[in-house]
Structure 1
Amino acid sequence: MNFLDTVPAIRRIETSRDDLLAIDVVGHVSAADGENLFGLMEAAYALHPRIDVLVRLVDHDGVDWANIAQETLKQGTAHAMEHVGRCAAIGEPNWIADARHLLRASLSIEFRHFETEDEASAWQWLGARPTEKQQGRG
């Protein structure tokens, strides 16, 4: 194993809003990366009863959903329906239809997909921006 094998696929993006969880999803998402994502979301919920989410897909190469504990998936879905207001997805693939299907019990989450070249519109829709050290990405 080389050092690149240990780089997490889920990477937090610092933003101008405390109640916005922004992440890069880079390459293939392992079960451990998925568990990490749910942990990041739980931490955000602990600080803010309602949050918005921005997901920027970078060279996305799938998710090991089958290897994430079913209880984690159920709990993660239930908590997202309770706490997430808006979710912006940037890049491909466009997974908004799948998310709406999975979270069909929740009409309170507003999803929008943005093409990579339209990333600025996603940030504007959420009323935020990446902080200075992150701005070189997008």
Structure 2
Amino acid sequence: MNSLDAVPAVRRIDTDRADLFAVDVVGHVSPADAENLFGLLEAAYLLHPMVDVLVRLVDYEDTDWAGLSPQTIERGKAKALEHVRRCATIGEPDWTGRVRRLFTTLPVEIRHFDAKDEQQAWTWLDARAL
């Protein structure tokens, strides 16, 4: 990577649980960042049929969903429904209501935590960052 390359908006967080997929989402999420996120999740699903997810939003700006194919988005949603048990989001915005509206049924338990309550999210998932 040279100094002109964009820093990825999606960054893995190492945790003490192998079946916890944890990421920071920082700033603007480009279509390439979103594709990367879907690829990382697919790899996690191959290693662990069921995973918990933690998404920490850090100075989040927006996501360029228009740059992704509808098939990629639909496949990502379908895979999440198959493989994700619980999802904790930390920080703003709280998009858990929008996620619930996207699905007619949501077998995934999803909770939002304010940034000041981050430790509660980690406790809810019985995990910690390394």
Band the TM-score falls in, shorter-chain normalisation: over 0.9
Length, aligned pairs only: 129
Q: Does 1:31 align with 2:22?
A: no
Q: Distance in 1 between matches of 2:119 and 2:4?
A: 29
Deviations 1:31-64 (A, max 9, x none): 0000000001000000001000000000000000
Deviations 1:39-91 (A, max 9, x none): 01000000001000000000000000010111110100000000000000000
Instruction: Provide the aligned C-alpha RMSD in A.
Output: 1.2
Report the Cα offset of residue 112 of structure 1.
Answer: 0.4
Tell me which residue corresponds to 2:126.
127
- 8 Å CA contact 1:91–1:114 kept in 2: the answer is yes
Q: Does 1:109 align with 2:91?
A: no
Q: Distance in 1 between matches of 2:75 and 2:124?
A: 28
Q: How does 1:48-63 map to 2 (within 5 A)?
A: 48-63=48-63
What TM-score comes out, normalization by structure 2 length? Answer: 0.95
Tell me which residue corresponds to 1:6.
6
Give percent identity, aligned residues only. Answer: 59
Unaligned stretches of 5+ residues in structure 2: none
- 8 Å CA contact 1:81–1:103 kept in 2: the answer is no
Instruction: Write out the 4+ residue segments of structure 1 that deviate beyond 6 Å after TM superposition.
Output: none
Tell me which residue corresponds to 2:72.
72
What TM-score comes out, normalization by structure 1 length? Answer: 0.90
| SS of residue matched to 1:6 | coil
